[in-house]
Amino acid sequence: MAESNDKPGTGRHAKRISSILVTQPKPTNDVSPYFAIADKYGIKVDFREFIEVQPVSYKDFRKEKVNILEHTAIIFTSRNAVDHFFRTCQEAKIEMPAEMKYFCISEQTANYLQKYIVLRKRKLFVGQRTAADLFEVIKKHKNEKFLYPCSDIRKDDIPEFMRANGFKFTEAVIYRTVASDLSDLSDVKYDCIAFFSPSGISSLFINFPDFEQNGTRIAAFGPTTAKAVIDAGLELDIEAPQPNAPSMTGAIEAYIRLHHGADSNKEKSKNGKQSA
C-alpha cells in the first residue's frame, strides 16, 4: 500500500484527513457513524477486511481429540466462534443438550447465539463487554467443565485466567485467522487507516513489507492493537476507546476537530455558496 501524499518534514498532523480506510467489512445499512463522518466532513471512507476467517475442517478438529459433550459450559467471545462451533457440531452430528450452559462476552454475542439455539435465561451468562467482565461471572461456576472454541490467533487472557483459577477447561481451535490479499490496494493512498486487531497490522506488512507511514495517520482500537502498531515501528495517532471517545468513530472525529477545526470542507463549501 502506498503512503499518504505528505512529504516528510511537513508535519504529519497538518494535512487535513480527506480519506479513511476502515479495516473491517462495510456496514450492511446506511446508519453507520462512519457514513455520518463522511457526510459531515466531506471525507471519503472505504472499507476493506484485512483478515479472513477460514474454518478448521472437521477432520482436523478430530485430531485435537476434543469431546464436546464432555463439557457442561461453552465460552463464546465472538460471532465467528459461535458460527464455527455450531458448524463443527453439525458436521459431527452433535446436538447441544438442553442443560448446556453458555457464557458470552457481551449481549451482542449472546443475542447472536439465538440464531442456533433457544436461549433459557438460567443457562445463559453474559459479561458486559470485556473478558475481565466475564471472569466475574465465571467465578460463580467453579464446578463446570468449560470449552473455549476459538481461533488459532487469540488473546491469552481467558486461558490464563482459567488455568490460574483451577477451572476444568479445554481450548478448541475451530477457525483460523489469515491475512487477506490486498494487492489491489498497492497504488491506493489514504490519509488515515483504522485498525481493530493485531492481526490487521500483521496483514498490512504481509501484503506490503516495505510500507512506510510518512503522513498516513494510524488509528487503533484497543490496547493490544495499539501495542501492535507501536511494536511494528509505526506512530499511533488515534487511539480508542478514550473516556471522551468510546468508539473508533468518536476518536477519529475528535482528532479531526483537534487538528483541523470543527468545520469541514463540505461545510465550508456550503457556506461559500451561500455567501456568493
pLDDT digits (tens, 9 = 90+) for 62-93: 999 999 999 999 999 989 999 999 999 999 99
Residue spans of the domains in the chain: they are 19-50+180-260, 53-178
Cα–Cα distance for residue pair 167/155, rounded to 1 Å: 18
Instruction: Give the sign of the dihedral formed by CA 261, CA 253, CA 272, CA 6.
Output: positive
| Domain 19-50+180-260 shares a fold with domain 53-178 | yes
CATH number for 19-50+180-260 (one of 2.40.10.10, 3.40.50.10090, 3.40.50.1970, 3.40.50.2020): it is 3.40.50.10090
Count CB-CB contacts under 10 A for residue 104.
Answer: 25
How large is the greatest C-alpha to C-alpha distance in the chain, in angstroms? 75
Q: Tens of pLDDT along 53-65?
A: 999 999 999 999 9
> In the CATH scheme, what architecture does the domain 53-178 have?
3-Layer(aba) Sandwich (3.40)
Q: Tens of pLDDT along 179-214?
A: 999 999 988 889 999 999 999 999 999 999 999 998
Counting runs of H as helices and runs of E as strands, what totals does the chain give? 10, 11
Q: Tens of pLDDT along 91-136?
A: 999 999 989 999 998 888 889 998 998 876 668 998 876 788 889 8
Average model confidence (pLDDT) across the chain: 87
Confidence at residue 275, expressed as pLDDT on a 0 to 100 scale: 36
